[in-house]
Structure 1
Amino acid sequence: MARPPLTLAALATAAVPGLEPTGVARHSRGRAGAYDAARICTADGRILLIRVPRSQAAESEQSADLVALRALTNGIRARLPFAVPEFAGQVPAGDTRGIVTDFLDGAAYDAELLTADESLAASIGRSIAALHALPPAFVSEAGLPRRTADEVRHEATRLIASAAETGRLPAALLRRWEEAADDEVLWRFRPTVINGSLDADSILVQTGAVSAIVGWSGLEVGDPARDLHWLLTSRGRAAGTALDAYRSALGGTDEALQRRALLWGELELARWLLHGVASRDDSIVEDAVGLLDGLVERVHTHESSPLSADTGPILAVGEVETLLDRTPRDRAAREAGGSLLTDSYRFSELEGGDRDEVEANLTKPIPLDLDGWGEEVDAGAEAAAQTGADAEAPAASEPSDPERAATDAQAERNSASS
């Protein structure tokens, strides 16, 4: 049973000494989420956010997020061009705990809109670069993972093997992913500090630039490509600008970054399949199988050519973004600690083709073709509507309608609802 806003406000007063609430508003996306959450206006003019997990998976995610926020010291935060939530207090709440953080300003947009404007896209690229340029020592000091390139590669290999063991992975994808895992060139990179679960849902925007990044449960030293897969599969016409700004800010990147990011994007479908198997949810399994089969079918109806003889055949960007265009039936996988591409996109119906011809080619490798990636993908792309929120406004200091809309959207992003 969901905790009412007043109960959450009472918990917040116990978590933050001296807190005097003057207004409270439930935080909701209009459906059952992983947290009971509320925004709280205080007598000293602050706005705080309290979240109480509703599942073991959400509790684990919130605990990891808290460790990361504490690791991000004032000195580290000063190196970032955007805000990060600050821990304010915690309090026992039944068999779990409520965590209070400050409430960050910023509007939320989907991936297409984030990469539709040149200036905003460049801000995104620079922001991710600033994160990846952080000195990695603080991650180890906080006890967070610090992976080598070989360890990252082994992680991908284990994920592929686990997906194969389900017996539901198409042979063409298995072969392609195994070849990619075996490609020495693909895994020559320098590990950096990464968010680890970064996607469009993580980014808040103000005045045409990134104002904050939320959701830090995956913070570690690892593969920078993990933070870019959502960007490379965006259909916004300025996605190339974001990547150019990222590279420019860092003074260059490893040659296989783009291809590796695409591989991680595809492997999100494998994670979705494994989540369905682990949770014994047949609907998720069938959804994942359909997406994987569709991935093969879509590619085999289009021409593409290998990037190089040494590169494992990874799917071309245009094919990935076409498939990753539908939200799965639920967001349970995000609760389980995975940030799925399928959580951020709506899948349109796959274009048909000669089914017999497609099935006859299921075991053939599917090559990568990055030609023209930086070109405008959708010249007629229109700005999507800002993600709506159905949260009530705080009781005190009632804002104007435009301000309320912005606040509600910001609140939604800060709520790690699943």
Structure 2
Amino acid sequence: MARTHLTLAALATAAVADLDVRAVGPHGSLGAGDYDSARLSGAAGEQWVIRVPRTQRAEAQQSADLVAIRSLSAGVRGRLSFEVPTYRGQAPIAQTRAIVYDYVAGAPLEASAVLAGTGLPSSVGAAVAAIHSLPTSFVTDAGLTSHTPFEAMRSSASVVDRAAATGLLPAALLERWETAIQDSLLWQFQPTVINGSLEASSFLVEDDRISGLLGWHDLQIGDPARDLAWVLGAPTPDSVDAVFDAYSAARGTSDRQLRHRATLYHELDLARYLLHGTHTKNTQVVDDAVAMMSRLVDAVQHHDERPLVVGTTEALDLDGVEDLLSATERRHG
């Protein structure tokens, strides 16, 4: 049963000493999702958010998120062009805890809104580049995870192997993905600070620019392409190009295979969706995943089955593949 806004407001005053709450209202969907949450307002116009996890998974995610945002010092935050939640306090409730953060203004971004010709692609690209340009020392000092290029390759190979073991992975995709994974040049990159779980809704938007970024529970040192995989869900190839161009301009990156890996990661979301269906024994999810993989096979074969390997940038710009990935993002994002 969902906790009421008044209950959450009372929890917030217990979590933060001298918190002067004058109004409380909805934040997200009350009673839906993994959290009970509310938006609080103070006498001087201050605003806060309180969240209480409703599941063990949400509790673990919130704990990891808290470690990450507390590692973001004022100096680190000063390097970013957008706001990040600030921890204010916590209070125990039942078997979990309520966490209070400063409110970050903005509406969740939708991938369909990242259109070439607007300010969003440039703002998104610059925002992701700013994360990847942060010093790695604060991540290691916080005891957070660090992954090498070999580990990134091995993790992708594990997803493919487990998907193949279901007997439902099309041979064309198995060959396509294995060829990419076995291409050693593809995995020659410099690990950076990454958010690790970016999706369109992670970003908050105000006036056609990124105003904030939520969800830091996977903060780590790893492959920057992971933070750009969701961009393949943008509505047009021009939109995808605009984000990657803005990112490259902001970082001055020399990682020529960045978009190849981002596309591979995005395609592997289909394999993860299949694995989710088989793990939960949800036949509808399995059937849906198989159908989407079949459409991806058709799209790839329609364009001469060009592989995701070095020297085949054209394969990453195929309208059919990107349209399919965009539709998948909208449907399951």
Same fold by TM-score, threshold 0.5 exceeded? Answer: yes
Which runs of 5 or more structure 2 residues have no equivalent in the other structure? Answer: none
Q: 1:70-89, aligned counterparts within 5 Å?
A: 70-89=70-89
Partner of 2:49: 49
Aligned partners of 1:197, 1:133: CA distance in 2, in Å? Answer: 17
Question: 1:217–1:309: structure 2 CA closer, same or farther, 3 Å change rule?
Answer: closer
Q: Taking every aligned residue pair, what percent have the same amino acid on both sides?
A: 47
> Is the CA contact 2:264–2:308 (under 8 Å) kept in the aligned structure 1?
no
What is the CA-CA distance between 1:240 and the residue it aligns to?
1.9
Question: 1:23–1:157: structure 2 CA closer, same or farther, 3 Å change rule?
Answer: same
> Is the CA contact 1:324–1:346 (under 8 Å) kept in the aligned structure 2?
no
Matched, 1:67 2:67: yes
> Is the CA contact 1:126–1:249 (under 8 Å) kept in the aligned structure 2?
yes
What is the CA-CA distance between 1:263 and the residue it aligns to?
0.2
What is the CA-CA distance between 1:86 and the residue it aligns to?
0.5
> Is the CA contact 1:263–1:314 (under 8 Å) kept in the aligned structure 2?
no
Q: 1:298-309, aligned counterparts within 5 Å?
A: 298-303=299-304, 305=306
Aligned partners of 1:231, 1:66: CA distance in 2, in Å? Answer: 26
Partner of 2:10: 10
What is the CA-CA distance between 1:252 and the residue it aligns to?
2.5
Give a deviation string over 1:84-115, Cα, whole Å, max 9, x none: 01011111121111111111111333112123
What is the CA-CA distance between 1:190 and the residue it aligns to?
0.4
Q: 1:285-300, aligned counterparts within 5 Å?
A: 285-300=286-301
Aligned partners of 1:51, 1:297: CA distance in 2, in Å? Answer: 44
Corresponding residue SS for 2:59:
helix
What is the CA-CA distance between 1:121 and the residue it aligns to?
1.5
> Is the CA contact 2:229–2:265 (under 8 Å) kept in the aligned structure 1?
yes
Could you tell me which amino acid in structure 2 is paired with residue 124 of structure 1? V
Aligned partners of 2:309, 2:274: CA distance in 1, in Å? Answer: 29
Partner of 2:331: 346
Aligned partners of 1:172, 1:191: CA distance in 2, in Å? Answer: 30
Matched, 1:161 2:161: yes
What is the CA-CA distance between 1:232 and the residue it aligns to?
3.1
Aligned partners of 1:95, 1:103: CA distance in 2, in Å? Answer: 25
TM-score, length-scaled by structure 1: 0.74
> Is the CA contact 1:125–1:243 (under 8 Å) kept in the aligned structure 2?
yes
TM-score, length-scaled by structure 2: 0.92
Partner of 2:235: 235
What is the CA-CA distance between 1:296 and the residue it aligns to?
1.3
Could you tell me which amino acid in structure 1 is paired with residue 124 of structure 2? I
Give a deviation string over 1:310-356, Cα, whole Å, max 9, x none: 76997654233322344xxxxxxxxxxxxxxx4x4138xxxxxxxxx
Matched, 1:276 2:281: no
Aligned partners of 1:172, 1:220: CA distance in 2, in Å? Answer: 33
Partner of 1:393: none
Could you tell me which amino acid in structure 2 is paired with residue 68 of structure 1? A
Which runs of 5 or more structure 1 residues have no equivalent in the other structure? Answer: 327-341, 348-417
Give a deviation string over 1:56-105, Cα, whole Å, max 9, x none: 11111111111110111111101111110101111112111111111111
Give a deviation string over 1:230-287, Cα, whole Å, max 9, x none: 2234124443222112111111331111111000000111111222222332322222
What is the CA-CA distance between 1:153 and the residue it aligns to?
0.9
> Is the CA contact 2:195–2:220 (under 8 Å) kept in the aligned structure 1?
yes
> Is the CA contact 1:194–1:220 (under 8 Å) kept in the aligned structure 2?
yes
**Bigger mean CA offset, 29-38 vs 52-61:** 29-38
Aligned partners of 1:126, 1:312: CA distance in 2, in Å? Answer: 22
Matched, 1:182 2:167: no
The number of residue pairs the alignment matches comes to: 332
Question: 1:105–1:223: structure 2 CA closer, same or farther, 3 Å change rule?
Answer: same
Aligned partners of 1:271, 1:165: CA distance in 2, in Å? Answer: 13
Could you tell me which amino acid in structure 2 is paired with residue 207 of structure 1? D
Partner of 2:247: 246
Partner of 2:225: 225
Could you tell me which amino acid in structure 1 is paired with residue 198 of structure 2? L
Corresponding residue SS for 1:2:
coil
Give a deviation string over 1:293-319, Cα, whole Å, max 9, x none: 221133334446457677699765423
What is the CA-CA distance between 1:27 and the residue it aligns to?
2.5
Q: 1:81-100, aligned counterparts within 5 Å?
A: 81-100=81-100
Partner of 2:40: 40
> Is the CA contact 1:299–1:315 (under 8 Å) kept in the aligned structure 2?
no
Question: 1:146–1:179: structure 2 CA closer, same or farther, 3 Å change rule?
Answer: same
> Is the CA contact 2:300–2:306 (under 8 Å) kept in the aligned structure 1?
no
What is the CA-CA distance between 1:151 and the residue it aligns to?
1.1
Give a deviation string over 1:187-244, Cα, whole Å, max 9, x none: 0100000111112101112233211111111111100000111223412444322211
Aligned partners of 1:308, 1:274: CA distance in 2, in Å? Answer: 24
Aligned partners of 1:253, 1:96: CA distance in 2, in Å? Answer: 45
> Is the CA contact 2:233–2:322 (under 8 Å) kept in the aligned structure 1?
yes
